Amino acid sequence: MPRCQPFALLAATFALPLLVAAAPGHAADAWPAKPVRWIVPYPAGGGSDFLARTIGQGLSGRISQPVVVDNKPGGNTAIGASETARAAPDGYTVLSADNGTLVFNPALYKTLSYNPAKDLAPVTLLGRFPMILVVGPGTQAKTAQEFIAQVKATPGGVNYGSAGAGSPHHLAMELLKVEAQLPMTHAPYRGAAPALSDVAAGQIPAMMVDYAAGAGFIKGGKVRPLAVANATRLPQLPDVPTFAELGYRNVEAAALVGMVVPAATPPEVINTLNRQVVASIKDPAINKKLVDFGVEPVGNTPAQFSELLRSETTRWTRLIHELKISLD
């Protein structure tokens, strides 16, 4: 696919699946008539997997059908996305798609095995995993301002870790790097856990991580949170300031995980699926589980999710191209 689609075309293609019929059709009446397969493009045990299994359990009860989570990791989520794009557009195959799948990959790769704008239709944003700047115990900085000053004063700059090249963790730190004009070099890892281990061991000084992945290290005092890349402070870390409070208003970044379906799925099926998924997210017991895990639950409309994807695509594609980041 082209390296960067024109934003007008992207907006139009994301909007196409959202044209809703005035009255429900036979597809909506028939759905759900069999189990729903929920593809997660990551291994079992991570944040996206927890999100799908927790919401899926509630969804299963609401639609009186099994919801089967199918982990399909690999290809920077492209394997799961491609399989979903090729699936029958009937509402029985859904995908947990994050901003890597829908926003970053088209800008990071010259060619993809799927086109997120043409092949996938948004259902709802499931939740947000805001990014947190953390440092290891060997780093003397006690505040984000001190960390920024120390990086600037270090000849040659410093390395920083991430959960992987092209991940929200990677691009969140690149955003801070640009906004604060920091001399930092990316050291990608295969997942957040090994990166956090090296931060805790003093092998690298810092990284961006979401609370769900980093809670154990933060609670155990192995890493120290300095600032959150979110509009508001996190309920789990009420004493940690936002970057906006520190004067870096543009440093907002999160792993955004939504549900998408094959693009030709009937709008009435998408809307029915949306209502049931959103109701599951808003169930008090499920909502509490998500918050306790470190997720900011959302549950919005297909149109709202589509608009978010358009704005996120504009923002992050510009940054990726300006920094000449490529994974090909």
Measured CA to CA, the distance from residue 243 to residue 144 in angstroms comes to: 8
DSSP letters spanning 184-240: EEEEE-SSHHHHHHHHHTTSSSEEEEEHHHHHHHHHTTSSEEEEE-SSS--TT-TTS
Measured CA to CA, the distance from residue 319 to residue 315 in angstroms comes to: 7
What does the pLDDT look like over 48-99, one tens digit per residue? Answer: 999 999 999 999 999 999 999 999 999 999 999 999 999 999 999 999 999 9
User: Which pLDDT does position 51 carry in this prediction?
Assistant: 97
Peptide bond into 32 cis (omega under 30): yes
Task: Name the stretches of the chain with pLDDT < 50.
Answer: 1-27
What does the pLDDT look like over 186-215, one tens digit per residue? Answer: 999 999 999 999 999 999 999 999 999 999
User: Which pLDDT does position 30 carry in this prediction?
Assistant: 86
User: Which pLDDT does position 29 carry in this prediction?
Assistant: 59
- Rounded to two decimals, the pTM is 0.87
Q: Which CATH number does the domain 130-246 belong to among 3.40.190.10, 3.40.50.10680, 3.30.365.10, 3.30.499.10? A: 3.40.190.10
User: Which pLDDT does position 44 carry in this prediction?
Assistant: 93
**Please, where are the H alpha helices in 64-164?**
78-86, 99, 105-108, 116-119, 144-153
What the block records as the tokens of 287 is 């909502």
Give the β-pairing of 224-228 and 120-135.
antiparallel
Note whether 7-128+255-322 and 130-246 share their fold.
yes
Q: Which CATH number describes the domain made up of 7-128+255-322?
A: 3.40.190.150
Q: Where are the domains of the chain?
A: 7-128+255-322, 130-246
In degrees, rounded to 5, the angle at the alpha carbon of residue 43 between the alpha carbons of residues 39 and 44 is 85
